[in-house]
Amino acid sequence: LPGMLSNPKLEAVQSLNVVVNQKVTISCCCASASPPVRYTLFKHNQQISSSNRSDSTSALFTLTISSASDVGPYKCKAEYNTSTEGKYSNSLNFTLIEPISKPVLSSPTSHTRQGQNVTLSCFSENGSLPITYLFFRDKQSIPPQKTMHSREAAVIFLFVNSSDDSGTYKCKANNSFPNSTKYSNSFNFTLAAEEGSHSQPLIISLGLILLLLIIGFALAIPFLIIPSYKASE
């Protein structure tokens, strides 16, 4: 009589992180079993493949992950031909990694002035989480990079101290998909002139005109008063 079956172990030969249309291999094996053993692979409790092993090696199943429905869960059943009772393995799920879309760099305002705080946000609409974002100003990175575990934008706060702070800004995004780094559009702030820079020369000009009028009036007083005084004699 064959020996007692242990619960088989189901595991991926490669990583559990896969991309669309990737071929994967999973193995199923009992630590204690007397060959021959029949291994059957299930997905969502539906039988998809089987393998008869006449020795103690693992049963290997090759799959193609073509959509989200192919990620699992998978289970394996081990049984002897002489027995209707079988043992089931652990459950196995793959994680489908999707490439990210080009991130969009934006701000609530494109106009600012010196001494003002502004915000910049970077967001990739598609792609597997988490997504890591990094901002740049004139090709110089602005640390730290931000890793987002939910579908939301990464935001940085900037203090505009001079015209150098107006841009050019960019951001890049990447996730665990191989070679998936993508860069955003460029963004520049328009730096408005200081209000005082227009009003100050105007105040100075008006002040000078007023001063000249006062001086002119002061100089003219003797010529106005003396003739009138002589006329009254």
pTM for this entry: 0.60
Residue 196 has a pLDDT of 47
For the chain, the residue count is 233
**Digit-coded pLDDT (tens) for 133-186:** 999 999 999 999 999 999 999 999 999 988 888 879 999 999 988 888 999 999
Same domain, yes or no: 133 and 84? no
Find the radius of gyration of the CA atoms of the chain. Answer: 39
Give the whole-angstrom CA distance, residue 178 versus residue 128: 12
Q: Which residues pair with 97 in a beta bridge?
A: none
Of the pLDDT bands very low, low, confident and very high (cuts 50, 70, 90), residue 121 is: very high
Same domain, yes or no: 92 and 127? no
Residue 203's region, left for phi above 0, alpha for psi from -120 to 50, else beta, is alpha
**Digit-coded pLDDT (tens) for 69-99:** 999 999 999 998 766 688 999 999 999 999 9
What would the 3-class secondary structure string for the chain be? CCCCCCCCEEEECCCCEECCCEEEEEEEECCCCCCCEEEEEEECCEEEEEEEECCCCCEEEEEEECCHHHCCCEEEEEECCCCCCEEECCCECCEECCCCCCCEEECCCCEECCCEEEEEEEECCCCCCCEEEEEEECCEEEEEEEEECCCCCEEEEEEECCHHHHCCEEEEEECCCCCCCEECCCECCEECCCHHHHHHHHHHHHHHHHHHHHHHHHHHHHHHHHHHHHHCC
Same domain, yes or no: 133 and 58? no
Closest CA to 70 of 130, 19, 129: 19
Give the whole-angstrom CA distance, residue 144 versus residue 232: 88
Residue 220 has a pLDDT of 67
CATH number at residue 186: 2.60.40.10
Of the pLDDT bands very low, low, confident and very high (cuts 50, 70, 90), residue 221 is: confident
Over the chain, what is the mean pLDDT?
87
Q: Which domain holds residue 72?
A: 8-96
Domain boundary among 41, 67, 96: 96
Same domain, yes or no: 74 and 119? no
Domain boundary among 49, 64, 96: 96
Provide the number of structural domains found in the chain. 2
Residue 163 lies in a domain: yes
**Digit-coded pLDDT (tens) for 198-219:** 555 555 667 677 777 787 667 7
Give the whole-angstrom CA distance, residue 123 versus residue 187: 14
Same domain, yes or no: 159 and 186? yes
pLDDT exceeds cutoff 50 at 22: yes
Residue 222 has a pLDDT of 65
Residue 39 lies in a domain: yes
